[in-house]
Structure 1
Amino acid sequence: MLDDFLVSAALAGLGVALAAAPLGCFVVWRRMAYFGDATSHAAILGLALALATDLPIFAGVLAVALAMALLIAALSERTVSADTLLGVLAHAALALGLVAVSLLDGVRVDLDAYLFGDILAVTRADLVVIWSGAALVAGLMIWRWQALLTATLSPDLASASGGNPRREVLLLTLALAVTVAVAIKVVGALLIAAMLITPAATARPFARTPEMMAACAVIIGAVAALGGLGGSYIFDTLTGPSIASFAAGLFALSIALWPLLRRA
């Protein structure tokens, strides 16, 4: 029998995969990788806010991640190029968060746990938060799937058919903020983007339709979470980086198999 903490860790990893993988497909399709980075780096600033105001960590991270995502969406319409803006905000958010945490008096914080994740310390309360957030994101993706897909492929077509592409972007922003808030305990602020992007990018060669790509991404994300957890347990390595490394290995394998898949 597996120890209880391993079962809890596995369930946490599966919850994050369920939330991050389908959302990651839209991040890949929209080329929003830096957007995910900037939002996830803001999680440390949310941690500082939560500790300073006695808020739950989830609430503080969610509030700041959502504020950062909305700020990026608003400023991206200005004259500054998107990649420059995202690069500045991503590093500024991380730096400000680390400075804010260091300025807190009488509070001891294990920064490594929030930077790289601490999935082995997941509690039942954490599992409730993770799976509630995952269910919210998955439900939102299913509910708005066609509208999100149309707005992603052709905003003009979405507008012509009575849709609102800007609203769909805001929904993606909300889903991204929730995913960051639930994933920080599992893989940490520095590795959340890896769980968003890598499974979706790995699934791309195996998928013929957007729906198939999302389903494959969920499976690949789950395999990466369980494989990284198992490797961490066997080799005594950091679990968050192990999960991200396992996901990267799956991506490398998909790239190696890509020529064979194209011939099939």
Structure 2
Amino acid sequence: MFDDFFVRAVIGGIGVALVAGPLGCFIIWRKLAYFGDTLSHSALLGVALALLFEVNVTLAVFVVSVAVSLMLVFLQRRASLSSDALLGLLAHSALAVGLVTLAFMTWVRVDLMGFLFGDILSITTFDLAIIWGGGMSVLVVLMVIWRALFAATVSYELALAEGAKPDHVNIIFMILMAGVIAVSLKIVGVLLITALLIIPAATARRLSSSPEQMAFFAILIGVISVWFGLFGSLELDTPAGPSIVVAALICFILSLMPVPLGLFRNNGQNQRGADNNAGVTIDDR
């Protein structure tokens, strides 16, 4: 079965969707879209260092993403700049350093478009093992810290009162984000990773009445986006990674369409209440 490149692409894309959905929900609740963008931009620096030191690309991207996350925490405590200014500084600096490093490595031929926009059709069996192994590890950890992480999202003080150690949980969340960025790189590339995290979760908001339900729908919409995006790419001869994001965008647009009265009568109110309670940003830390 794994001899077919298209089958590997579908299985790899579904593996990423399974883990990107729940984490994307926390990005929506915490209003951290720019943080996801920062980590995805830093991925290119990880690619450059992997090629320079001849190490595994996924491992290098993960290490660099974790380093950028910890650097953000350090700068928040030492610098007088706002979080969005720090995120912009880190995102563009990491991207620029990565591009300059690649430019100096004249002895290496780099498929820059593949890293920027993904090359899901070139996934190997080893890549599948990394995607599913890393993704399932992230999901297991997320399930363990789900209650504490959601408490920290709703209220920092509430999490402290429950003994959840929100600072530690937030760092674990950043590490999980770094893991998802690393395993997603080959699927949709540096520039589209954040879209795969945010769009399915944003679509799931309208269909959900609880945090757990929103996470489930985000996974389902991600899987649907991968399926239709890849088949659309095959039929229309379009780039696979961007096609997946376009399929996710179509799902989001469809979710905005009018629905039969009463179908989601309580969902909108309940989800708005959850989002209002979970509106904690990095600044609140």
TM score, norm. by length of structure 2: 0.89
Aligned-residue Cα RMSD (Å) equals: 1.7
**Per-residue deviation, residues 130-173 of structure 1 (Å, max 9, x unmatched):** 10111011111111111111111111011011110101111111
Q: Could you say which residue in structure 2 is the equivalent of 1:249?
A: 250
Equivalent residue pairs, number: 264
**Aligned equivalents of 2:4, 2:95: Cα separation in 1:** 33
**Per-residue deviation, residues 198-217 of structure 1 (Å, max 9, x unmatched):** 11110001110000000000
Gaps of 5+ in 2: 267-285
Contact 1:19 1:133 in 2 (8 A): no
Q: Could you say which residue in structure 1 is the equivalent of 2:115?
A: 114
**Aligned equivalents of 2:102, 2:197: Cα separation in 1:** 26
Contact 1:205 1:254 in 2 (8 A): yes
Gaps of 5+ in 1: none
Deviation at 1:83, TM superposition (A): 1.5
Deviation at 1:73, TM superposition (A): 2.5
**Alignment partner of 1:174 is 2:204:** no
Amino acid at match of 1:203: A
Q: Could you say which residue in structure 2 is the equivalent of 1:161?
A: 162
User: Cα 1:29–1:234, aligned 2, differ >3 Å: closer, same or farther?
Assistant: same
**Aligned equivalents of 1:58, 1:263: Cα separation in 2:** 43
Amino acid at match of 2:149: L
**Aligned equivalents of 1:259, 1:92: Cα separation in 2:** 48
User: Cα 1:215–1:101, aligned 2, differ >3 Å: closer, same or farther?
Assistant: same
Q: Could you say which residue in structure 1 is the equivalent of 2:14?
A: 14
Correspondence list, 1:92-107, <5 A: 92-107=93-108
Of 237-246 and 96-105, more deviation after overlay is shown by 96-105
Secondary structure class of the residue paired with 1:42: helix
**Per-residue deviation, residues 68-101 of structure 1 (Å, max 9, x unmatched):** 1111232234321112221222122112111111
TM score, norm. by length of structure 1: 0.96
Amino acid at match of 1:63: V
Q: Could you say which residue in structure 2 is the equivalent of 1:230?
A: 231
Query: Percent same amino acid among aligned pairs?
Result: 47
Deviation at 1:256, TM superposition (A): 2.4
Q: Could you say which residue in structure 1 is the equivalent of 2:271?
A: none
**Per-residue deviation, residues 180-238 of structure 1 (Å, max 9, x unmatched):** 00000000010000011111110001110000000000000111111111111110001
